[in-house]
Every structure is written in structure tokens, then in C-alpha cells.
Amino acid sequence: MSIADVPWLPLALTLIYLAAAACIYRILMTYRVAQGAIAWILALIGLPYIAVPMFLLFGRNRFGGYLRAKRTGDAALTELLNHFEQQTTAISRRADEHFPDELQVLCKLGRQPFTTGNRCDLLKNGEATFEALFDAMENARHYILLEFYIVRSDKVGQRIKSILKRKLAQGVQVWFLYDDIGSVWLPRKYLRELAAAGAKVASFGDGNFRRMRLQVNFRNHRKLLVCDGDVGFVGGINLGDEYLGTAMGEEPWRDSHCRITGPAVTGLQLAWLEDWNWASEDFPTLNWTPSQPTPGDQEVLILPTGPADTYETCTLFFLNCINNARTRIWIASPYFVPDVQIMNALQLAALRGVDVRIIIPEKSDSRLIRLAAYSYLVQACRAGIGIYRYQPGFMHQKVVLVDDRYAAIGTANLDNRSMRLNFEITAISTAVEFVNGIESLLEQDLTTSRLMTERDYRDRSVAFRLTCRTIRLLGPLL
């Protein structure tokens, strides 16, 4: 049978190649990483009937819908940002000599100021975090803003729902934002109960068309809570029992979070508002005046990052930290699949004498990413980079320590998804007590971690090494 015998086949092939050409045009006009663009173009030319649907699933590298929603509320958001930068607690002024350029640039990346007058308390595990979250919600008087990548209907999730329903009955307003992909197993009944109790509930998908588009990129990976505009939380912990070691095979999850009071909470609230505006086309009235007097004297910056940014903000954040480290750069990340520029920066830091340590988990919820990390060992060890495997359970925290000068805690990993595809958020503090707390936290984790060597990779079978190198190529999709 020839093509001529199937009358619709020539038309179908023509449409497929036209779609491939449209995809290639989009790639050429928007690509950020040349290697990825070349790979997509070759696939679209050689296997268009496979590559076209794959590109529709994974191929976009900018979140156009979010940008459009952002512009819709841009005047109001800009006014709020300007008001935030003009507060007396804002210190992002070049005239402040104690405030170096490397911190100034982070303010520009996040479009937010460093503020003083804050208190940032480190929450070292799931038990401490949930206790603080529950307490803050119980004490909320006006409103509660939640935004989490994963929400489960387990003991923790049910406790959250119970508190929210009780606060709603007391007249407290609740806005509940979750991610479609991360919370895919969250029962619709859970959400209906919250909505029936009076909560405003929205999912972070592709606008009103999220059910029609099979788009799995651009996940909202943020985990934050704000109560009354006065207290906020950010870090790596989602809403689930696994962070208490009571789920997922009883393996303990090692994670951390932080509780913030003071003007920096406004930064968390602004990030939440942009996301909520995108997901619901709603712009709620919130408290934008931090409580006085301020609760402390710590300098804190909230740095939201994501694919709607003008720059690759998350990548630039990590590069800024690594390139400006003078004595040490310690990073804890559960997912370690860095791109070339991040790996080169780590190597250069180690070669100039900086103590570079990367803590990753021995046990992971992603076998592919665990294997991919082995492929970096030779590069890392030869440059003097220490890669440590955390042993007791799954380490999920995302923490950065730069010298003794500042530290960061948030949601961003050292992988392509955090750098270019996910919406992330990080809290950065220069406070001595916070930096010392992160240092103590990481030192304790290092005592239960194993330093890897080249032999962990070189002494394995050819098949193992080939698998690791192959998976590494898939880093942008993991």
C-alpha cells in the first residue's frame, strides 16, 4: 500500500511537519540554552510525529500566561513594590557602604529590597516546622495565605484543614493555593470541604485552560505561609506526614524551614499575590504595613525566582553566591544535576581555595537523579569539591551558606528544573545568629554524611557509568 492509497495521510504528514516548523521557530526565537535547542530541533526534524507532542509537553521555556497575568495586575503590583522599597526598613541603597554589590544585585534580581528589623528563626525539622505553622494559623486574626507544592490528605493535611475550617468559622479569611502536579493525589473532596467552609481555593495551572493543555513544566514549587501580613514561613517542607517520618516507608525526611517576622514578610506576601493573581485573576486586599515596633534587627531578603522572570534569576542567584564566596560555599540540595556554568563556577571556587561542599541524599525519591549525581564525581573530586551523601534518610532541605556572611533557605534545588522551569522562593539573611544556625545545621548533617570519591564512580561497572552519563543528559527533563 502506497501513501496515495491513504488519502488523509499526505495531509496528516503535512500538518505534522508544519507543526514541527512552528515549534522550531518558537525554539529559535526563545531558547536560552543552545544545547537543549539543538537537541529539540534535531528531534523535530528527524522524528516530528514523536517530537511535536513531546515539545508541547516539555518544550516551553517561558511562562507566557503568567507574564500576561502579571502585566494585568502590574500597576497595582508596581505600586506595592515601590511602597515596599520606600519603607524606612528597606536598606537596598547603594549609599549603604556596609551593603556589598553582591547583595545589591540580589535585590535587583528579586525586585525587592533587603529589609532590617526582622527576626528569622530557623526550624530544623518537620516537627518544629509544623508546630510553628499550626501555632501561627491558630493565632491568625484576619487572614491566612497558603501556597504549597505538595498538599496531602494525611494526618498533617487533615490537621491543616481542621484549623483552617475553624478559623474560617471565626471570620478569618483563607486563601489556599496549591500546584496541580505536586498535589495530583490530593482528593477533590479535601478542596471542596475547604471551599464549602468559605476558603478561596485555586490551583497553579495554565490559567483557565490548564485542564486543556498537557503541560507538565512550570510547576509552582514554592512552600510558604503568611498570617495577617505579620508572620511568614518559607523553606523546603510541604504539607505531608513524610516530614515527620511517619510515611513513605517510615524513612525519616531531613528538611528545614524558617519563620520570619518583620518587614520581610511583605516580600513573601508579594510573591504569593503574584501567584494568586495568575491562578485566580483575583487581587485581594491585604495588610501591607508591618507591625511596629519591628521584632528584631536582622537583614532579610525574599528572592522569588521563576520562568516568568526577565533573567534566569535562580541560576544567577547560585552563580552570585558561588563566584563571591571567599572562604567557603556549602550547599545542601536533594537534587544535584547542575548545568555546565554552575559546575564550572563550583570548580573555579574550589581551585581558588574556597571550601566547597555539596550535601546530597544517599536515599532519594528519584533514582534517576541519584544516579545522575555520580557522573559529576570525577570533575568534582579533581577540583577539590567535596560531595557528601547524607546517610540517615532522605535529605530534602535546600540551604546555602556563603562564608560567614550570609545564608539562604528556600525551595530551589541545584537542577535545571529549579533554575529554569519551576517557581521557587528563597529567604536570604546576613544576621550572625541565622548564619551561625545554618552553619551548625550543616555541620551536624556533615557528621552523618559520607564523603564520596572518584572510586565511587570509577570502580563501578561500565554499564553503571554509562547509565549515569546517559541519565545526566536527561537532566533538563528530570
308 DSSP 8-state letter: T
Q: CA 20, CA 42: separation in Å to the nearest integer? A: 11
Active-site annotation holder among 223, 241, 257, 415: 223
C-alpha cell at 98: 556596609
Q: CA 115, CA 475: separation in Å to the nearest integer? A: 36
Q: Which residues, 6+ apart, have CB-to-CB distance to 208 below 8 Å? A: none
111 DSSP 8-state letter: T
Q: CA 341, CA 347: separation in Å to the nearest integer? A: 10
124 is catalytic: no
228 is catalytic: yes
Active-site annotation holder among 161, 167, 257, 396: 396
Q: CA 222, CA 232: separation in Å to the nearest integer? A: 13
445 is catalytic: no
DSSP secondary structure string, 135-193? HHHHT-SSEEEEEES-B-SSHHHHHHHHHHHHHHHTT-EEEEEEETTTTTTS-HHHHHH
Q: CA 217, CA 60: separation in Å to the nearest integer? A: 8
Active-site annotation holder among 221, 241, 275, 339: 221
CB 250 within 8 A of CB 244: no
98 is catalytic: no
CB 333 within 8 A of CB 413: yes
C-alpha cell at 71: 502585566
Q: Which amino acid is at 382?
A: R
C-alpha cell at 431: 544576621
Q: Which amino acid is at 362?
A: E
Active-site annotation holder among 241, 275, 398, 445: 398
Q: CA 267, CA 113: separation in Å to the nearest integer? A: 8
Q: Which residues, 6+ apart, have CB-to-CB distance to 423 below 8 Å? A: 204, 218, 219, 220, 221, 222, 275, 304, 305, 306, 307, 308
Active-site annotation holder among 179, 180, 206, 228: 228
- CA dihedral angle for residue 245, residue 246, residue 248, residue 249, rounded to 10 degrees: 90
Count of residues in the chain? 478
223 is catalytic: yes
Q: Radius of gyration of the chain from Cα atoms?
A: 23
339 is catalytic: no
Q: CA 376, CA 342: separation in Å to the nearest integer? A: 12
Query: Could you give the residue numbers annotated as active site?
Result: 221, 223, 228, 396, 398, 403
